[in-house]
Structure 1
Amino acid sequence: MKFVKVEWNPAAGGFWLDPRGYVAELPKLVDDLPKGAGAFATDPGHYDFGSPRCVKDLELVGASLAGDGDAGFEVRFGANEWKHDSGLVIRYAQVSDLRLAAPGASINDLGPVLLDEILPAKHGCRHEIVFIGGTLAISCADFDARWEWDGGPGGADFE
């Protein structure tokens, strides 16, 4: 990630997470982000670790390619029972690049989300999600992110 800091801190026995550089840069970036990506990135709870709308601690529960010819990709995250009141579904449109790095782990063992970062890219945006056990990066035209209640629509959406 370019602005968000996710670093292992051996003295603390955990990760040091700092989104402040990205949050400070976001007002300069938001006009270059596609509409859905920009709305999701600027949600007031996105980087507030105590918010039920913060991506930190979500768990990857599924991912699938869209069969509609749009080069779509969907990622589903389950709620952390101590923090979130719903899971998150992100539907990416016109995906041009998809990368999963999970050194020493399988896709089923990525662990919880630490943080993410959304940056403008040539054909839309690049969304990088860092987990304890790996990283998922998606380049796309735009995406729709929705907090869903018990698998159904509800909560805030970012359109």
Structure 2
Amino acid sequence: MQEMKYVTVDWDPEYSGFNINPAPYLEALPDLLTSLPPGARGFASEETHYSFSSLRCVKDLQLAEITTPVNKGDALSIRFAPNEWKHEEGLLIRYFGVTRFQLDFKREADWMSDEAVLIDEILPRDGGCSHEIELTDSRIHVDCEDLTAIWG
């Protein structure tokens, strides 16, 4: 189910955990930033975004709520709760000018009880950006004009 262009996430049955590698994305990111809209650029380039031990790393946030727009002008919102062992704050991402929203499940699971972020990837695309979020048992893909990410 791998769709991300740079980031890799693979299940390791011997380790009973995920191998997550954002290094290729981080190497490409400086060249991608100029093509990202302002909100996406700011979020993707936050110094601690991919620092797994940071309080503001997206890894291990818990999916809490998805609010889909009713009208074309409304924003799509995804709220993530803090992981009690790692984060002091949760994260709200609001997507504007959404042209695609997709939620794919990887396997049968009680995904709402412990669906955690593994990693994400933001890429430029015509008219905005794409944001892909790999979770423990599902994947979220959003194409939009821009996004805002608010910790709190």
How far apart, CA to CA, are the structure 1 residues paired with 2:111 and 2:103?
Answer: 8
Greater Cα offset, 103-112 or 126-135? 103-112
Aligned-residue offset at 1:107: 5.8
Identity rate of aligned residues, in percent? Answer: 41
Consecutive unaligned residues in structure 1, runs of 5 or more: 149-159
Question: What residue in structure 2 maps to residue 21 of structure 1?
Answer: 24
Specify the SS of the correspondent of 2:25: helix
Q: How many residues align?
A: 148
1:33 paired with 2:36, answer: yes
2:85 equivalent in structure 1: 82
Offset at 1:82?
1.0
SS state of the match for residue 24, structure 2?
A: helix
Query: Does the residue aligned with 1:44 lie in a helix, a strand or coil?
Result: coil
* Bigger Cα displacement from structure 2, 107-116 vs 14-23: 107-116
User: Distance between the aligned counterparts of 1:70 and 1:106, measured in 2?
Assistant: 33
| Structure 2 residue 123 is matched with structure 1 residue 115 | no
Work out whether residues 110 and 131 of structure 1, in 8 Å CA contact, stay in contact via their aligned partners in 2. no
Say which SS state the counterpart of residue 7 (structure 1) adopts: strand
Q: Which stretch shows the higher mean deviation, 47-56 or 65-74?
A: 65-74
Which amino acid in 2 is paired with 1:8? W
State the partner residue of 1:12: 15
C-alpha distance in 1, partners of 2:114/2:36?
A: 27
Paired amino acid for 1:141:
E
| Structure 2: gaps spanning 5 or more residues | none
C-alpha offsets along residues 26-45 of structure 1, whole Å, 9 cap, x if unaligned? Answer: 00000000000010000000
> Which residue of 135, 141, 149 corresponds with 1:137?
141
In structure 2, distance between residues paired with 1:71 and 1:25: 32
* Distance across 1 between alignment mates of 2:109 and 2:71: 31
CA distance in 1, matches of 2:99, 2:110: 23
Q: TM-score, normalised by structure 1?
A: 0.88
